[in-house]
Every structure is written in C-alpha cells, then in structure tokens.
Structure 1
Amino acid sequence: MSDTPPGPDEVRYIARLARVGIADAEAKRFAEQFADILGYFETLDEVPEIERESDLVNVMREDEVRDGLEQEEALKNAPESEEGYFKGPNVS
C-alpha cells in the first residue's frame, strides 16, 4: 500500500468501479476524509501492545447441516444468470 492517501482521481476511479456517481467536489472531500482515516490508523499503530494471558473461550455454536436452496430457486430473482450461475457485470 502506498504511503500517500488516495487523491480525487483515485476516489473517482473507485466510485466508477462501484458504479457510484460522484461530483468533483465530492471526490475532493472524500479524498480528504480518506487521509483523515489513514491518519487515525497511524495513531493506532502508536498504541503500545500489552502482554496478558488470554482467557478466551469459543462462544460459537456448533454448525448445523440444513437443506439449502435448489439452484432454480436461488436464481429465480437474479437479474441475469448463465449456465446455472449468477451473472454479474464485467469489472475492468
């Protein structure tokens, strides 16, 4: 990852990939917000680590095997499908 925060051009590129329309002013504002967020992560890197014994217990339930959807039922609300699979837009 780069040491420089994303600029407005990168924000517009990411928005285009996500198919989200943003104005130039928004791209500039989002780029500034990204810079702030990355600064917060740098601050977190400065927090000293502590050593302690872990008393963690697995609180997850056991997996249960259950019947899933049939392929036809799973695909019935998909905008597009091809050869029994979900079909999505190409991402470049």
Structure 2
Amino acid sequence: MSVTKKDVNYVADLARLKLSEEETESLANDMNQILDYMTTLEELDTSDVEPLEHVIDLEYRLRDDKAKEPLSHEDALKNAPDADTDYFRVPRVIE
C-alpha cells in the first residue's frame, strides 16, 4: 500500500487543513516511509513477545483510583466562558 498526494489531500480536507503542494508531497513521502518501516517490523518474529499494556512500566506512576464526590453544577460551570444554569454553551460547528 502506498499513500498518494490524493490520499493526503483527502485527509487534509477532512481535517479542514490547507496544505501547499510542497507540504502535500512531503507528507505523502513521510507516510510512505512510515508504512515501509511497518512492513519491516512485520517481518520480525514476535511469537515469544508478551503483549504490553504500556511500553514503559507505569505501575508506580499512577494514582490510586478512589471514588470522590462529583463536582456540583456551579463548580463545573464556574470557569466556562459561556454557560446557562445547567449547560456549557459552545459555538455551533455543524451547519
């Protein structure tokens, strides 16, 4: 599989990005290099490799999962730029 400039432009359009011709060419090249590297990785024998949840050991870095009282409506909406009594107000993004 190879990524074409048409593919890059399609994804950029979905993300609402405007790319120059040079950026499109560069991104297509970068994505193809990533895919080539993934093909190389597929050749490795990983049958004896145990699946990981995280790449690094996070056992001692995570806090205990303890239940707490939820925020009140007033506290949750306190710093909102625009809110009514119960909800956040946000600009309309779907026309």
* Pairwise TM-score range, normalised by the shorter structure: 0.5 to 0.7
Higher relative contact order, chain-length normalized (CA < 8 Å, sep 6+): 1
Q: How does 1:49-60 map to 2 (within 5 A)?
A: 49-51=46-48, 59=59, 60=62
Q: Which runs of 5+ in 2 are unaligned?
A: 52-56
RMSD: 3.6
TM-score (norm 1): 0.60
Partner of 2:65: 63
Runs of 4+ in 1 over 2 A off after TM superposition: 50-54, 64-74, 83-90
How much has 1:22 moved relative to structure 2?
Answer: 0.7
The question of 1:43 aligning with 2:40 is answered yes
Query: SS at 1:35's partner residue?
Result: helix
Q: Which runs of 5+ in 1 are unaligned?
A: none
TM-score (norm 2): 0.59
Aligned residues: 83
Q: Name the structure with the higher strand share.
A: 1
